[in-house]
Amino acid sequence: MDPKADTPHAGPDAAPRKRISRRATVVGGLVALLALAGTGWLAWRLTHPTADAASTAAGPGGRRLPATTVGVATAQQATIPVVLEALGTVTPQASVKVRPQVSGTMDKVLFKEGQMVRAGDLLATIDPRQFEMALLQASGQRQRDEAQLSSARVTLQRYQTLLAQDSIARQDVDTQAALVKQLEGTVVIDKANEGAAKLNLGYTKVIAPVSGRVGLRNVDVGNVVSSSDANGIALITQIAPIDVVFAVPQDQAGELQRITGSGTVMKVSALDRTRSTTLDTGVFASLDNQVDTTTGTVKAKARFANSQQALFPSQFVNVQLLVKSIENAVVVPVTALRHGSNGDYVYVVNVAEHTVSLRPVTRGQASGEKIVIATGLQAGEQVITEGADRLKDGARVVLPGDSPTGPGAGAGAGGKRQRPGGKPAAAASQPASGSDAAQPPQRRASQAQAS
């Protein structure tokens, strides 16, 4: 059988149909390539603004960089306090452990734990009977020796009369005179013993040596106490006024010494652990006479009245020492100051041109979120506080309050980026309405067949 007999007979329109189908395929591919090229061009234009856009600035090699949105602040004149902060320890001016001076049985305890006492107040008593007996014995010994001394003196006077009459040997007179001297020394010893007995008797009354607060008592009535007891009877701590000891850097010790020597009073504040509450306010008292070589600091002391008793001995507090105040200082936020290879600098805003200038400055004292600019900046000038990492000298910026279509906005009318010819970039990938390129390939093939 002939294989060609089963093949459909090719009509007269077969060749034109194949040419139309091939043409439609080529046209569809060209349309797809144009659409892809238009999309790529639009993406490039969105990421690479036009050279004449108002929101661009020249970059390396002449390339234009987009404007940067920044935050600004105005340099102001203010009084800046110079504050030295340190960690301090509350130290009482006097802390005395009360111990008995004599041994004996505790007779009375006259204080309460935590009581405020004054110097000279009676705290406790020890059984005084044995000391009273010792005083009586010392007094009797003194009186006996004084009687013997009086008799010896009378005898010596008689011997001296007989010696003047040449009725007695001089040796007897000299012996009697030596006896008088001996008895005089004995009486002096007796008086000392009597005084010691009186002193011991007085020690049976335990007196507060300083004013302050009494701690927890360590003995009770009936206990036998002595001067060798390690714990003593109680601890008295003077808490008003009270001191705070803290360390200052050795570099600032000279200035503190100079200010103290001039008679200027420096205020000191004691804050709690969280720095949220001021416990008390005092004055700077003194500075130590040597530097601690291990830490490079010098110990300093501040004195507080502690009228509210907010400071406790051995308490840790945060100390703020007001060294001085800088008047009419030019201050900016700390975030405006930057540091480069050539030193400190700030970016100053040229408001009319929407550009920035890099200006070297000299930093001063910092106080919280503000820092003093010693040189290089005037009050009233605006500096960059946010977005400075993306800036260079002469760069254009978008300032707070600028409209989206204003200088440096980088957009056309209506907020859309435009092509150089004025048409929106989004229309670059859309062919003209009614053209063959805008029709599907099947429709174009049908039209060609009909023709």
At residue 42, the pLDDT reads: 78
- The rounded distance, in Å, linking the Cα atoms of 361 and 407 is 29
Supply the angle between the helices 170-203 and 129-164 in degrees, to the nearest 10: 160
C-alpha span between 168 and 153 (Å, rounded) = 17
pLDDT at 231: 86
Output the pLDDT for position 16: 61
At residue 325, the pLDDT reads 84
- For residue 432, the one-letter residue type is A
Q: What is the pLDDT of residue 6?
A: 47
Predicted pLDDT of residue 166: 86
What pLDDT was estimated at residue 153? 93
Q: Which residue ranges of the chain lie beneath pLDDT 70?
A: 1-20, 45-65, 401-451
Provide the pLDDT for residue 11. Answer: 52
**Structure pTM?**
0.59
pLDDT digits (tens, 9 = 90+) for 408-434: 444 433 333 433 333 433 333 343 333
